[in-house]
C-alpha cells in the first residue's frame, strides 16, 4: 500500500463502552453504546444511515452470527454492507485495515469500524484447539505465553522483577482510566505474591479476558479537517516454522531467525506511514502478559534486540518518560475483550493525539502506534498522527 494515497484516511470519531464485567448487559448492548458514542463524536446523526457511513466492519471472536447486524439493527442504521471480521486478538485491527483500504481506494467515503466481545471467564477456551489438544492439556494458552517469557529471560536481561514492574507500571496508568476494569495500583511484591499460573507468569501478570466494545469512524480527510490521521493499518500472519509463534504450532524448526508476526506487521506499518520508531511519541501494545509487552518493545523496534529490560529500567515507557507505552493501563488494567481490544487501543491513542486523555495525557503526543497480536497468528499494527 506504499506510494501515493489517492484518499487520505482520518479518524472522524471514536467511542467506547468500558472494559470489565457487565452481567446485566448483552454484547449488543455494549456495541450499541460504543457505536452511538463514535457516531456522535463524528457528528453522524441518527437516521443518517447510508448517508452517514457506507459500510460497517465489526471485529469479534466470540460474538456469533451477525454481531454487527444486531448492533446496527438496534440503531436502525442498516442497508449498507455489514461484515463481521474475526482475527483473534487482532480482530479490530483487521477490521480497521479493511476499512482503511476501502477508503483509500475510493470505494467508500466513511466507514464505521467497531469491535465487541463478552468473553467466557478464566483461561480462554478457543475453537482453535482440536479436542485431542484440549484433552491432552495442550490448550494451555498461558503456557505458551510462559514459554515465550522464559525464552526472553534466557536471551536478555529480563528478570521476573521486570515482569512485575510492567504490571506495576500499567496498573499505575490504568488507575487514571475510567474505561479500565482494574483501577487500583499494585506493588511488585503483591504481583510476585499472586499465585504462579505457569512459571515465570504469576496470575497478576496475565490480562483478564472480559467484556466491552469500542468503535471508530474512518473517513476521508476532506470530510473532517484537522482530525487525527490514520497513517497505516497493517495486518500480518505468521510465516511458517517458528515454534513459539502466536500461531501456536505443535512443532517448528530449530531456527531463531524467523521473523515474528509482530515484527513483520511493524516493518510494513512503518514503511506505509513513512516513519520510524524514533518518530513515535506514544504506544499502546499487546500486554496479554507482562512479558509480551517487553517482547513488543523489541519486535516493534522501540529498542534493539535484547534492550527491553534497559528501556523499562530507564523509565522510558512510563507516563512522563520519553516513550510512554500503554498509557491506558494496557490490557493488564483494561482486561481483554478480543474483538474490542485493538480498537480500544485506537480510541485511547486518538484521545491522546487530541489532547483529551486527562491525567494520563502524554504531553505533546503527535505520532502514535498501536499493536495487537494473537492466535492465528494475526498481528495488527496501526500508526496515527495528529
Partner 1 sequence: MTAAPPGYTGPVPYGFGVVELPEGVRVVTRLTEPDPARLENGQPMKLTVVPVGADESGSPVVTYAFSPV
Catalytic residues: 89
Q: Are 211 and 20 within 8 A, CB to CB? A: yes
Query: What does the alpha-carbon distance between residue 337 and residue 207 come to, in Å, rounded to a whole number?
Result: 10
Nearer to partner 1, 24 or 131 (CB): 131
Nearer to partner 1, 131 or 320 (CB): 131
Nearer to partner 1, 31 or 374 (CB): 374
* Interface positions, 128-147, toward partner 1 (CB under 8 A): 129, 131-132, 134-144, 146-147
How many residues at the interface with partner 1, by CB under 8 A?
Answer: 36
Residues with Cβ within 8 Å of 225's Cβ and at least 6 positions away in sequence, in order, are none
Query: What does the alpha-carbon distance between residue 142 and residue 84 come to, in Å, rounded to a whole number?
Result: 27
**Which range touches partner 1 (CB under 8 A), out of 76-84, 191-199, 283-291, 314-322?**
191-199
Query: What does the alpha-carbon distance between residue 322 and residue 316 come to, in Å, rounded to a whole number?
Result: 5
Q: Smallest distance from the beta carbon of 141 to partner 1, in angstroms?
A: 7
Q: Are 151 and 94 within 8 A, CB to CB? A: no
Binding mask 152-181 for partner 1 (x = CB under 8 A): --x---------------------------
With cell 463478552, the residue in question is 118
Task: Cell numbers for 56, please give them.
Answer: 460497517
Binding mask 255-274 for partner 1 (x = CB under 8 A): x-------------------
Under rule CB under 8 A, residue 196 binds partner 1: yes
Under rule CB under 8 A, residue 253 binds partner 1: yes
Q: Are 89 and 343 within 8 A, CB to CB? A: no
Under rule CB under 8 A, residue 192 binds partner 1: no
What letters, b where the CB count within 10 A reaches 16 and e where it falls short, cover 49-66? beebbbbbbbbbbbbeee
Q: Are 265 and 250 within 8 A, CB to CB? A: no
Under rule CB under 8 A, residue 251 binds partner 1: yes
Nearer to partner 1, 22 or 129 (CB): 129
Q: Which residues bind partner 1 (CB under 8 A)?
A: 122-126, 129, 131-132, 134-144, 146-147, 154, 195-199, 243-244, 249-255
Amino acid at each position: 500500500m506504499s506510494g501515493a494515497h489517492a484518499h487520505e484516511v482520518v479518524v472522524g470519531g471514536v467511542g467506547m463502552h468500558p472494559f470489565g464485567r457487565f452481567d446485566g448487559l448483552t454484547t449488543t448492548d455494549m456495541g450499541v453504546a460504543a457505536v452511538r458514542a463514535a457516531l456522535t463524536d463524528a457528528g453522524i446523526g441518527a437516521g443518517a444511515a447510508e448517508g452517514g457511513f457506507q459500510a460497517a466492519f465489526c471485529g469479534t471472536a466470540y460474538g456469533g452470527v451477525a454481531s454487527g447486524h444486531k448492533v446496527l439493527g438496534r440503531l436502525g442504521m442498516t442497508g449498507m454492507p455489514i461484515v463481521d471480521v474475526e482475527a483473534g486478538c487482532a480482530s479490530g485491527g483487521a477490521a480497521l485495515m479493511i476499512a482503511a483500504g476501502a477508503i483509500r481506494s475510493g470505494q467508500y467515503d466513511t466507514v464505521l469500524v467497531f469491535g465487541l466481545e463478552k468473553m467466557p471467564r478464566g483461561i480462554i477456551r478457543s475453537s482453535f484447539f482440536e479436542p485431542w489438544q484440549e484433552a491432552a492439556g495442550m490448550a494451555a494458552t498461558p503456557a505458551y505465553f510462559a514459554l515465550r517469557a522464559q525464552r526472553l529471560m534466557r536471551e536478555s536481561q529480563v528478570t521476573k522483577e521486570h515482569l512485575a514492574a510492567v504490571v506495576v507500571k500499567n496498573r499505575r496508568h490504568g488507575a487514571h482510566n475510567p474505561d479500565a476494569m482494574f483501577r487500583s495500583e499494585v506493588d511488585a511484591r503483591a504481583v510476585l505474591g499472586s499465585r504462579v499460573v505457569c512459571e515465570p507468569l504469576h496470575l497478576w501478570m496475565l490480562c483478564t479476558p472480559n467484556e466491552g466494545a469500542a468503535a471508530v469512524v474512518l473517513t476521508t480527510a476532506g470530510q473532517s479537517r484537522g482530525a487525527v490521521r490514520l497513517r497505516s493499518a497493517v495486518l500480518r500472519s505468521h510465516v511458517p516454522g517458528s515454534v513459539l509463534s502466536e500461531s501456536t504450532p505443535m512443532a517448528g524448526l530449530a531456527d531463531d531467525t524467523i521473523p515474528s508476526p509482530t515484527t513483520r506487521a511493524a516493518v510494513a506499518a512503518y514503511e506505509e506511514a513513512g516513519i520510524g520508531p524514533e518518530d513515535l511519541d506514544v504506544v499502546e501494545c499487546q500486554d496479554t502478559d507482562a512479558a509480551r509487552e517487553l517482547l513488543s518493545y523489541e519486535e516493534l523496534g522501540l529498542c534493539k534486540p535484547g534492550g527491553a529490560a534497559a528501556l523499562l529500567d530507564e523509565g522510558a515507557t512510563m507516563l512522563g518518560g520519553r516513550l510512554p507505552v500503554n498509557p491506558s493501563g494496557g490490557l493488564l488494567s483494561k482486561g481483554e475483550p478480543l474483538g474490542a481490544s485493538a480498537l480500544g487501543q485506537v480510541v485511547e491513542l486518538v484521545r491522546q493525539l487530541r489532547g483529551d486523555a486527562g491525567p494520563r495525557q502524554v504531553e505533546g503526543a503527535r505520532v502514535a502506534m498501536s499493536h495487537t497480536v494473537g492466535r492465528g497468528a494475526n498481528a495488527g499494527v496501526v500508526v496515527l498522527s495528529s
